Amino acid sequence: MNYTKPKQFAQPIVFFDIKCLARFGLSAVAANLTHLRLRVPSRDLAYVLIGPQGAYGRTTNLFPSLSYLDISTTNVRLDSVLNALLRSYARLEHLVLDRVNLFGFAAREKGAELCKDLGRVCVSAGLARGKERERQIASWELADRTRLAQVEAERRRTTARTRIEEDDDSSGGSEDEEAVAATREAEAAEAEHQQQLAIARARRGHRSAGHSTFSLRDRPLRTRTAGSTSAASSSAPIPSPDRLYLVLPPLPTLRTVSIGGEAHNLSAARVAEWENEFHAGWREGLAKVQGWAVHVADRYKRAKRKAEDWQEQEAKQAQATGKGKVKPASVGTRPPTDIQLFRFPLPDEARERDDPCDPTIGLIGIHPEGRDYLEPYKLAIRDSEMYANDHSTPPPCVLCTIPDCEGPARRGAEGERVDGRGGMSGKHREGCGHLIGRRTWGWASV
């Protein structure tokens, strides 16, 4: 029966659903994990480790305390998936991506260029995290104003209905009866209109192949109808925003990135070229983060100045009214007067657990007197430039290209079989994620 023995053995986890890892990442136990190593060969594990979206489009964080992540031998590409993965882990300091085919088949010809893109992506993830949090806060603030407007509209409708009923009981005049009838007719018409809109939306989803994808109707008329409908359904308009929350982008927390096994038999010159391009992309990313931080600082300064001017104008109007003078008409709309500036906490700072109902939870409010809060960005760029000019200083992020594990069976660019153990005899960079992983899971940790 020796001929019936299988030549290769498929790991049982290949046939399992790896989405259970996402459910585990949301548990109370996972909230305390700081180091995580997952080896699921040739599976798209990065998609699973990106949490689902919650309220206001906010991504739910899996493993919120994670500082070390090793997902070697899985499938990870240098695209939006890697960017989303880095955005999801705000405390991540060590990322190991050995034999994940990060660069695809282009590592041999465009390895240096792709390393530059990798350095840029590692830094720009913080920039995307800051912009995303600002959008979430804006949506949360708009939902709060909309809720208040709906409550005010319902209060006005209740007051008007009560007044009509009281007038009807006291006078019993025909005018009150006509007002009640008109109110009921308006409510019935509005309900009928909403029902017709619901039917139209349901029919809109069923289109045949020959159905036209555009309409010759008068679109401004449709806009006016929608506007009149929203005005009828909500008698109280949404108030203008009185709060403006700005968020500074966080600096990168990554200290090591390991991409062993992306190319075989790399010479020392090629390794140095890859590292130099990685740090060049790192510096470009830092420049973009600093530029956005300066933009946020300018917005904060302009908003504070507008709020102070408006408050000064209101004080003058109140003073003129108190003296019996004619109150001057206010010019323009009221700007936000509650201006707050936030930043993300540093990895060594204590932070609150994120609250999906309030996107400001987990951020640290700052009350700057000048622009000193921009100094960390300048220091980060200075340290990166110092390493570029003199390699004797420690790099801002260690890049290691030596693999520390055996990879799955893959095919090369020309269809050749690639050895999954090749390149493991090289020397690792000092302080890289591989050496940290050995101290964490090896005999040194026992």
Residue type, 140: W
Q: Does a structural domain hold residue 290? A: yes
How far apart CA 217 and CA 215 sit, in angstroms, is 5
Q: What are phi and psi of 123, to 5 degrees?
A: -90, -40
Q: Does a structural domain hold residue 237? A: no
pLDDT tens-digit map of 262-290: 877 788 899 999 999 999 999 999 999 99
Residue 183: band (very low, low, confident or very high) from pLDDT cuts 50, 70, 90? low
pLDDT tens-digit map of 327-356: 555 556 888 888 999 999 887 777 777 766
Neighbours of 368 (CB within 10 A): 13
Q: Does a structural domain hold residue 234? A: no
> Which are the contacts of 88, defined by CB distance < 8 A and separation ≥ 6?
49, 50, 51, 59, 61, 62
More confident: 362 or 179: 362
Structural domains in the chain (count): 1
What 3 state SS string does 368-427 have? CCCCHHHHHHHHHHHHHHHHHHCCCCCCCCEEECCCCCCCCCEECCCCCEECCCCCCCCC
Residue 236: band (very low, low, confident or very high) from pLDDT cuts 50, 70, 90? low
Residue type, 146: T
**Contact (Cβ atoms closer than 8 angstroms) between residue 137 and residue 296:** no
The angle at the Cα of 131, spanning 92 to 242, to the nearest 5 degrees, equals 130
Q: Does a structural domain hold residue 330? A: no
Q: Does a structural domain hold residue 195? A: no
Q: Quick one: average pLDDT of 241-269?
A: 90
Q: Does a structural domain hold residue 294? A: yes
- CA dist list (Å): 297 to 17, 306, 343: 46, 14, 12
**15-29, 113-127, 198-212: segment of lowest average pLDDT:** 198-212
Q: Does a structural domain hold residue 23? A: yes
Q: In terms of residue numbers, what domain contains 257?
A: 8-136+250-318+336-432
Which of the residue ranges 93-102, 227-236, 329-338, 434-443 has the most confident prediction, judged by mean pLDDT?
Answer: 93-102
Q: Does residue 157 register a pLDDT over 90?
A: no
- Placement of tokens 């136990």 in the chain: 29
Residue 445: band (very low, low, confident or very high) from pLDDT cuts 50, 70, 90? very low
Specify the pTM.
Answer: 0.76
**Contact (Cβ atoms closer than 8 angstroms) between residue 57 and residue 84:** no
Residue-level pLDDT at 220: 45
**235-239, 276-280, 301-305, 373-377: segment of lowest average pLDDT:** 235-239
Residue-level pLDDT at 4: 44
Question: What is the rounded average pLDDT for all residues in the chain?
Answer: 79
Q: Does a structural domain hold residue 351? A: yes
